[in-house]
Amino acid sequence: MATCPQGHASGADDYCDICGAQMAVSPGAAGIPAPAAHPAAPAQGPVEECPVCRTPRAGQYCEVCGHDYSGSAPPRVQVVGARWEAVTGADLAYYEEVVAQGGPDAHAVAFPPYCPERSFPLAGDQVRIGRGSRTRPARPEIDLTGPPEDPGVSHLHAVLLAQQDGSWMLVDPGSANGTRINGKPVAVNVPVPVGAGDRIHVGAWTVITIREGTP
């Protein structure tokens, strides 16, 4: 005998045969399957961080520093920067060539008996070559004022321009006595590439040698 919600004893187990109320059926009775239980959500553990830069992990490699969580570092291309410098000095052979060409006041310019080499780093977007002027507050990065002073060098004789690939170009903006690279004249306002070992001649006897070395 089943009991209906009103307390009547009923011979039927679906509806009470006394009051007609639906019988209360327990899950699993009369072949009715019990509702499936929802699986418990897994416990949320702490977020794994990169042991190098502490960035939350998002894959096999750290998105910031490239750390490999499997234990081996991914191959990387090592970029080594170059340190360029310009070394100035006096070139007797060039001086004798200038004098032989008989330029204006060529014989009035004496070759210096002593001219120590000086090194100027090439840094920034541009490096100006020339002689400082009292009327101009800004001095060129490669200042050839001296001593000794080459009077054939203009106050702004030439400019070295840095390129995106790390190389350099030279421009003569219109110097009074011109510029040569490895013996060849440079056209005005025409950029010419320069590299390690190139010799730039300006003035009556000044030579500028470009050198490259690792920092």
Per-residue pLDDT, 146: 81
Q: Is the dihedral of CA 97, 101, 103, 106 positive or negative?
A: positive
Per-residue pLDDT, 178: 95
Per-residue pLDDT tens for 133-150? 877 777 899 999 989 999
Asked whether residue 205 is domain-assigned, the answer is yes
Asked whether residue 131 is domain-assigned, the answer is yes
132 vs 214 pLDDT, higher one: 132
75 vs 66 pLDDT, higher one: 66
Mean pLDDT of 25-44: 49
Q: Residue 49: is its pLDDT beyond 90?
A: no
Residue 167: how many other CB atoms lie within 10 Å: 14
Per-residue pLDDT, 44: 59
Q: Work out how many domains the chain is built from and give that number.
A: 1
Q: Residue 205: is its pLDDT beyond 50?
A: yes
Per-residue pLDDT tens for 73-100? 444 433 335 689 999 999 999 999 999 9
Burial string for 101-122 (b: 16+ CB within 10 Å, else e) reads eeeeeeeebebbeebeeeebeb
3-state secondary structure of 33: coil
Asked whether residue 46 is domain-assigned, the answer is no
Phi and psi torsions of 93, nearest 5°:
-60, -40
Asked whether residue 9 is domain-assigned, the answer is no
Per-residue pLDDT, 177: 92
Containing domain of residue 205, as a range?
83-213
Q: Which amino acid is at 131?
A: R
Asked whether residue 52 is domain-assigned, the answer is no
Asked whether residue 161 is domain-assigned, the answer is yes
Per-residue pLDDT, 212: 85
Task: For residue 131, give the CATH number of its domain.
Answer: 2.60.200.20
Per-residue pLDDT, 28: 45
Give the pTM.
Answer: 0.61
3-state secondary structure of 93: helix
Give the Cα separation of 142 and 145 in Å (integer): 9
The Cβ-side half-sphere exposure at 119, using a 13 Å CA radius, reads 7
Write out the H or E segment, with its range, that includes residue 96.
helix 92-100
Q: Residue 3: is its pLDDT beyond 70?
A: yes
Asked whether residue 202 is domain-assigned, the answer is yes
Mean pLDDT of 1-27: 69
212 vs 62 pLDDT, higher one: 212
Asked whether residue 47 is domain-assigned, the answer is no
